[in-house]
Amino acid sequence: MPGSFGYVETRRVVLFTEDDPLVLSSGATLAPVEVAYETYGTPAPDGSNAVFVCHALTGDAHAAGHHGDPARTGWWDTLIGPGKPIDSERLFVICPNLLGGCRGTTGPSSPDRTTGRPYGLRFPHFSVSDLVAVHRRLLAHLGIRRLYGAVGGSLGGMQVLQWALDRPGEIEHAVLVCASSRLTAQNIALSAVARASILGDEHFCGGDYYDSGRNPDVGLSVARMLAHITYVSERGLELKFGRGRLREAPTFGVDFQVESYLEHQGRSFLERFDANSYLYLSRAMDYFDPFADEEGAVERLRDSGTRFLVVSFDSDWRFPTAHSAEIARVLERAGCTVQLEEVSSPWGHDSFLLEVPRYHELVAGFLGAAVAVR
């Protein structure tokens, strides 16, 4: 039986200082940059067993184990732990909170040392490459030079892809789950509506809401409810809720079960996420387009030696299989070893967070764990 990693603590480290600032791809600089991260398992003496986990839009460093309550585990606890597909008995797993986030790593809610106040919208825009640059600094801080594996779902997979391009050969096994190399116009449109909702909230105050005692809660919860619809499949919602009702006669409250579920998703999100972080990270996704120069990408990847596992889910309508297939197409052009797999699951994009057996077998097999055959 695979077990839980048990109690873990989130650590923090200052990776960039005013003397040694983070130079963003835009040319802007940022300092200090502190990063929150967790690790699971033990590094091999030669650092050869490191697996880097990149989180998605609203994730955090707490991927596995628990912080005191064994019932409340990290967001990828089903995937990471002793005997699990990312086996912490064998692998040394690292998961940081993203630059621009709000869960311990420097982001728009962090104090700007030049003013003493939170950055708000004065935080610089950053790219997925910049996220990777911070990851690499964390890796160096941990004394690791090369990754046995890098794993991510959605925006997490985009970071893994960018890393493979920015530093060819640094990753031995790259796992991209329901990722994309390029948001479609519809993807961008949905992000734009979420941002319009946040930016238009009466309490947004141009991003300087931190000291006002009020947050743009309506805007952020609407953004989250909308995004959540794209994370689950039409069929999944139908299976769970159908047209189940909580009332007989119409109101503008919560009449249908699916409305109750959505409202809960919106409300609970407010406790853990910052509206400005949402704006910055979603915008970085819009601009992500690492194959815009496809020939350049193919050249960079050639002879990198990185092996890829690219997984999609058949009910994912945020980043359908076509997105994964497009990634695989370019990787194959570069001569990379690519395993492209579409997994059947009714749960849409969110499947990457769930215990879908075939998906877990694929990750375990690719990373060389023996879970699948136990």
- Minimum distance from CB of 72 to its own copies (Å)? 27
**Which residues contact residue 47 at a Cβ distance below 8 angstroms, ignoring those fewer than 6 apart?**
92, 143, 144, 145, 146
Q: How far apart are CA 144 and CA 47, in angstroms?
A: 6
Q: How many residues bind its own copies (CB under 8 A)?
A: 52
Four-CA torsion 133, 138, 139, 142, nearest 10 degrees:
160
- Is the N-terminal amide bond of 32 cis, ω within 30° of 0? yes
| Dist. CA 350–CA 358, nearest whole Å | 15
Ligand-binding site membership of 350 (annotated): yes
Interface residue with its own copies, options 86, 94, 258, 353 (CB under 8 A): 258
Stretch in the footprint of its own copies (CB under 8 A) among 16-24, 105-113, 162-170, 252-260:
252-260
Compute the least distance from the CB of residue 62 to its own copies, in Å: 28
Active site amino acids: 154, 316, 349
Q: Which amino acid is residue 179, in one-letter code?
A: A
| Stretch (H or E) spanning 264 | helix 257-270
Task: Give one word for 8, left, alpha or beta, with left for phi > 0 and alpha for psi -120 to 50.
Answer: beta
Residue 211 in marked binding region: no
Q: What is the DSSP letter of 108?
A: T
Cβ distance to its own copies smaller for residue 65 or 266: 266
Among 241, 339, 361, 371, which residue sits at the site for its own copies (rule: CB under 8 A)?
A: 241
Site for its own copies in 37-96 (CB under 8 A): none
Binding segment (CB under 8 A) for its own copies, from list 6-14, 92-100, 253-261, 305-313: 253-261
Cα 166 to its chain centre, rounded Å, is 18
CB of 242 to its own copies, least distance (A): 6
213 scored as a contact of its own copies (CB under 8 A): no
Nearer to its own copies, 279 or 338 (CB): 279
Taking the C-alpha atoms of residue 306 and residue 166, their distance in angstroms, rounded to an integer, is: 12
What is the phi/psi pair of residue 276, to 5°?
-65, -40
Structure token digits, residue 89: 């008995």
CA distance 330 to 166: 15
Q: Does 121 bind its own copies (CB under 8 A)?
A: yes
Q: What's the closest the beta carbon of residue 186 comes to its own copies, in angstroms?
A: 4
The reply to whether 186 sits near its own copies by the rule CB under 8 A is yes
Q: Does the protein bind its own copies through residue 193 (CB under 8 A)? A: yes
226 counts as binding its own copies under rule CB under 8 A = yes
Alpha helices per DSSP H over 58-179: 128-141, 155-166
Q: Which of residues 17-36 bind its own copies (CB under 8 A)?
A: 26
Residues near its own copies (CB under 8 A) are 26, 121, 125, 182-186, 188-190, 192-193, 195-197, 199-202, 218-219, 221-222, 225-226, 229, 234, 237-238, 240-243, 249-252, 255-259, 262-263, 266, 279, 283-284, 286-287, 289
